[in-house]
Amino acid sequence: MRLTSLVIGCALVATGLLSARAGATTAPNECVQACRATEGDCLFDAHERAKQCEEECGDERDLYRTACLDENVDETCPEKREALQGCLSTCGDRMRTDQGKCSQARKECVDTTCDLPPRPARPYPWGHRGPFRR
């Protein structure tokens, strides 16, 4: 009798703890999902700005096509190619900067608004594969 009461009591306590734990993680999970959704919107906007930037490189693209892709390759082809690459690399740099800002904003959102427990320390200072990774 005493053993069955103990087992039943332990089962009830464990069930209560599990349900309390599940309820406690619902709000932080929703908060993290909201931060991720905001990051998704930010990344979409960054992508749209990058597409607009690439469209603004249309003059350089047309000059490059005229100088380099026709049957008669012009001697100004290398200059036109560099101009186009410079314009497109500027767009890529802006895109990467915007992506970094979006990622940082998500991290700040999670850190400041979501009530999450601290992250556990890494078990190995050298990573998950151990010191003998190849």
Q: Are 101 and 93 in contact (CB under 8 A)?
A: no
pLDDT score, position 83 = 94
For helices 77-113 and 2-56, angle between their N-to-C axes, nearest 10 degrees: 150
pTM: 0.63
Q: Are 50 and 67 in contact (CB under 8 A)?
A: no
Distance, first Cα to last Cα, the chain: 58
* pLDDT tens sequence across 3-59: 344 334 444 444 443 344 344 445 778 999 999 999 999 999 999 999 999 999 999
* pLDDT tens sequence across 110-124: 988 888 877 777 666
What residues does each domain of the chain span?
Answer: 29-111
* pLDDT tens sequence across 94-115: 999 999 999 999 999 998 888 8
